[in-house]
Amino acid sequence: MASNVPRCSQRRLVLSQLPPAGADHDTHAVPASGEQSHGVASILDRLDALVYVSDMQTYELLYLNEYGRNVWGDYQGKTCWQVLQADQDGPCRFCSNGRLLDAQGRPAGVHVWEFQNTANGHWYQCRDQAIPWPDGRIVRLEIATDITARKRIEQELHLAVTRAEALARTDELTGLNNRRAFFELGERLFPHNRRARPMAVIMFDIDHFKQVNDTYGHAIGDQLLRSVGEALRPLVRPNDVLGRLGGEEFAVILADTTLEQAAATAERLRAVIEAVQVAEGDRTVRCTASFGVAACNCATCNLDAVLSEADGALFRAKHRGRNRVVAGRSA
């Protein structure tokens, strides 16, 4: 970047040039005594934090404390992006210089941010500000502390919370949405007060499941439910909501789907469930399911009303002999 400021290598930081606190950039700093400058150097070099100063136009590093020199190496005659970051062939895309000055080009206060260093992968909390330099320039000062350990704990905590939330919404046996997640997602999907669009619900229930448990045992019953869940998952679209409502009862909410389309989907689900097999010794355990389908096409109808209609249709499917699809009304 072009600059009319002389190269900083000609005027690398001399600690006695550090501007006194509160110095205005239009005034000249009062040079510190040799003893004072040694003291300041000592303090800066003993800090458990990176401290650096760079030219805001040329990006040249004017000062790097001992912490910085130990981690990033020699800085003399180099830019901040060459020393402090990896694989940069120019000023960093994430450089905060633009935030350090106000519209009039005056120091705008301290900008605090967190950043993962591209050279060593550590996380830092950076406190950046523009400060006046004794020669009248405004330069960038950054003080950065390593927060990698805290960041790791935060990330682990975030992961644990995400996992716990997912578990609280997942049916343990089948991995499908549990009842709570099904209703939460369903309420979001339903077109309350929104543009009317067709929505359909399929409710289904494994037939004579008590007999399966009684004949083959609860563990085989569980395995059959797991296998049904696995077989169903690929059949629903990403926007649909498939869940196990409890026991051997399942439901799917189908977005943008008419009653006829939902009935056809239910027929596909029925055939897939009929084909599920679980081996028990030399026997093969199979099951069928009964389906009730309902749909709505208005902005005011709600999930409960359509589920109740689908439940009525499911009841009729059971009574008409099971292993079949019965379509209810389209509201």
Residue ranges in contact with ligand GTP by CB under 6 A: 173, 205-210, 213, 218, 221-222, 225, 247-248, 318, 322
**Which residue matches tokens 């004949």?**
215
Q: Exactly one of 66, 172, 184, 248 is catalytic; which is it? A: 248
CB atoms within 10 A of CB 263: 21
Shortest CB 123 distance to ligand GTP, Å: 44
SS (H, E, C) 194-261: CCCCCEEEEEEEECCHHHHHHHHCHHHHHHHHHHHHHHHHHHCCCCCEEEEEECCEEEEEEECCCHHH
Min dist. Cβ of residue 237 to ligand GTP (A): 26
Q: Are 180 and 170 in contact (CB under 8 A)?
A: no
Q: Are 273 and 317 in contact (CB under 8 A)?
A: no
Structure tokens at 35: 């003893």
d(CA 232, CA 204): 12
Q: Which is nearer to ligand GTP, 117 or 174 (CB)?
A: 174
Comparison of 208 and 329: residue with beta carbon closer to ligand GTP: 208
Residues forming beta bridges with residue 249, ordered by sequence position: 205, 246
| DSSP sequence for 300-329 | S--HHHHHHHHHHHHHHHHHTTSSSEEEEE
Question: Least Å distance between CB 324 and ligand GTP?
Answer: 12
Instruction: State the CB neighbour count (10 A cutoff) for residue 4.
Output: 5
d(CA 101, CA 260) in angstroms, rounded, equals 63
* 248 catalytic per annotation: yes
| Smallest separation, CB 231 to ligand GTP (Å) | 17
Report in angstroms how near the CB of residue 252 gets to ligand GTP at its nearest: 18
β pairing state of 325-330 and 289-296: parallel
Distance of closest approach, residue 220 Cβ to ligand GTP, in angstroms? 8
Neighbours of 118 (CB within 10 A): 14
Instruction: Rank residues 60 and 205 by Cβ distance to ligand GTP and give the closer one.
Output: 205
- For residue 169, the minimal CB distance to ligand GTP (Å) is 17
Rounded CA-CA distance 160/157 in Å is 5
Between residues 249 and 256, which has the closer beta carbon with respect to ligand GTP?
249
CB–CB of 198/257 below 8 Å?
yes
**Nearest position to ligand GTP, beta carbon:** 221
Cβ proximity to ligand GTP, 223 vs 297, nearer residue: 223
Q: Say how far apart CA 331 and CA 81 lie, in whole Å.
A: 64
118 vs 213, beta carbon nearer ligand GTP: 213
Of 105 and 247, the one with the shorter C-beta distance to ligand GTP is: 247
Q: Which residues are catalytic?
A: 248
